[in-house]
């Protein structure tokens, strides 16, 4: 059988059974998985053997997070429109670093970036970065924040670094997600140096805990607490504290999608007032792993933080994907995002959250 036919048959069989198979693999499946722990053989193997080995021993040992019966963690599924778009991008093996390397990857990012701003109600002109997940989205947005505030204080972080840089206060809620602390530590802010503001019993920041006269400061708010689903009072805090030397960042790994739902957007009231936002396409948008998004209002600050130039790289006036993200060579993940939004259409976007669930299930996005 042709290799691609064999793949399609196996993939269809797996996905066809995913809703009715047990979610977590049994002990037998996990012990049989040891079969792939084999010494590297001397002679090459046919790709069809690799595929059948993976399917025979790997498929039964998967956690069926793509199915409607999986409710662990805050894990998305991957619906067909997104999954097939991603497979297409893999078939094409596109490098989404530069527009000249992949016009299709670059355009898919540009188009879906525009759609995303409109779906989420974020300000026109906001820059969008296609990264691996919310952790990297937080990192990317906070790098732009660090550069923007430092530059206004006369210090250029990309060239001079953090040693000797002017102090920037970083404020987080007591129930900040660990990934945001990780991003802050990677950026040289230090996990323990941040100022923690008390939260209520749902993990929401107590608004009065953030003073009117903070600055220069990065205030990190959250849309969607990982335990309760609750969001910080983003609008109330932003309206009061926003000024030139205060950058408001929102970690909305899953909660940001409430902004796309006419019935739920009141839960993230004022979200559009922030300066940057992080979210995951691989959570509520049900795009395959890995897929995160950073949005930064101050486009120039983002580009200056992420840009890299070399004699062999072309200087163009078009949108160069790698100038928006930490990586250079990278997967064309904007194509899956494009495919996903194209399939769902604008009118149905408020119903995105129901797509993974079995009929009759209750959706509880935010407590
Ligand atoms: C609020 C919040 N921020 C960040 C993350 C990290 O997301 P990722 O694992 O996609 O990097 C999560 C994951 O659940 C989250 O809930």
Q: Which of 226, 285, 287 to mutate to test the pocket of ligand 1 (most atoms within 8 A of CB)?
A: 226
Instruction: State the distance from the centre of ligand 1 to the C-alpha of 162, rounded, in angstroms.
Output: 26
pLDDT at 119: 93
**pLDDT of res. 346:** 61
Nearest CA, atom 3, ligand 1: 253
For residue 173 and ligand 1, the question of a CB distance below 6 A is answered with: no
How many angstroms is it from 253 CA to the middle of ligand 1?
5
Give the Cβ contact number of residue 150 at 10 Å. Answer: 21
What would the pLDDT profile of 244-294 be if each residue is shown by its tens digit? 999 999 999 999 999 999 999 999 999 999 999 999 999 989 999 999 999
Span of 176-180, 192-196, 309-313 with lowest mean pLDDT = 309-313
Q: What is the pLDDT of residue 354?
A: 41
Identify whether the C-beta of residue 230 lies closer than 8 Å to the C-beta of residue 199.
Answer: no
CA of 321 to the centre of ligand 1 (A): 23
Phi-psi label, residue 203: left if phi above 0, alpha if psi -120 to 50, beta otherwise: left
Cβ of 328 below 6 Å from ligand 1: no
What does the alpha-carbon distance between residue 354 and residue 284 come to, in Å, rounded to a whole number?
Answer: 9
Torsion 342-99-103-85 (CA) sign: negative
Please, which pLDDT band fits residue 355 given cuts at 50, 70 and 90? Answer: very low
| Ligand 1 touching residue 235 (CB < 6 A) | no
Classify residue 97 as exposed, middle or buried by CB count within 10 Å of its CB (0-12, 13-18, 19+).
Answer: buried
Cβ–ligand 1 distance for 134 under 6 Å, the answer yes
- Confidence class for position 366, pLDDT limits 50, 70, 90: very low
- Ligand 1 centroid to Cα of residue 6, in Å, is 35
* pTM confidence score: 0.93
Q: How many CB atoms lie within 10 A of CB 84?
A: 16
**Ligand 1 midpoint to CA 299 (Å):** 23
Q: How far apart are CA 55 and CA 7, in angstroms?
A: 9
Residue 360 has pLDDT above 60, yes or no: no
Q: What is the pLDDT of residues 90-142, one digit of tens each?
A: 999 999 999 999 999 999 999 999 999 999 999 999 999 999 999 999 999 99
Q: 293 - beta bridge partners?
A: 130, 279
Cα(135) to centroid(ligand 1), Å: 6
Predicted confidence (pLDDT) per residue in 227-243, tens digit: 999 999 999 999 999 99
Q: CA angle at residue 240 from 236 to 246, to 5 degrees?
A: 115
Percentage of the chain lying above the pLDDT 90 cut: 83
Give the integer Cα–Cα distance in Å for 123 and 146: 20
């Amino acid at each position: 059988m042709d290799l691609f036919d064999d793949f399609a048959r196996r993939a269809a069989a797996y996905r066809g059974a995913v809703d009715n198979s047990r979610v977590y693999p049994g002990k037998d499946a996990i012990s049989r998985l040891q079969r792939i722990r084999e010494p590297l053989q001397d002679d090459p193997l046919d790709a069809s053997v690799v595929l059948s080995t993976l399917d025979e021993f790997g498929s039964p040992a998967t956690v069926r997070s793509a199915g409607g019966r999986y409710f662990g963690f805050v894990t998305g599924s991957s619906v067909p429109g997104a999954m097939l778009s991603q497979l297409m991008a893999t078939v094409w093996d596109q490098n989404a670093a530069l527009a000249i390397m992949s016009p299709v990857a670059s355009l898919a990012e540009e188009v879906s970036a525009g759609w995303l701003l409109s779906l989420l109600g974020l300000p026109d002109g906001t820059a969008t970065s296609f990264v691996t997940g919310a952790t990297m989205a937080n990192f990317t947005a906070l790098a732009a924040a660090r550069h923007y505030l430092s530059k206004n204080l006369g210090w250029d972080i990309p060239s001079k670094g953090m040693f000797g840089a002017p102090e920037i206060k970083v404020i987080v809620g007591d129930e900040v997600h660990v990934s945001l602390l990780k991003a802050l530590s990677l950026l040289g802010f230090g996990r323990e140096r941040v100022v923690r503001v008390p939260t209520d019993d749902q993990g929401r920041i107590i608004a009065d805990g953030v003073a009117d006269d903070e600055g220069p400061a990065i205030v990190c708010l959250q849309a969607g607490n990982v335990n309760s689903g609750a969001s910080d009072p983003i609008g109330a805090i932003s309206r009061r504290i926003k000024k030139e030397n205060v950058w408001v960042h929102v970690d909305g790994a899953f909660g940001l999608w409430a902004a796309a739902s006419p019935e739920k957007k009141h839960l993230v009231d004022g979200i559009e007032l922030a300066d940057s936002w992080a979210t995951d396409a691989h959570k509520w948008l049900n795009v395959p792993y890995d897929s995160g998004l950073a949005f930064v209002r101050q486009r120039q600050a983002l580009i200056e933080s992420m840009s890299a130039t070399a004699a062999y790289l072309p200087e163009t006036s078009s949108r160069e994907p790698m100038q928006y993200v930490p990586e250079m060579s990278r997967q064309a993940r904007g194509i899956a995002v494009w495919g996903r939004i194209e399939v769902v259409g604008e009118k149905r976007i408020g119903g995105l959250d129901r797509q993974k669930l079995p009929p009759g299930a209750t959706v509880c996005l935010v407590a």
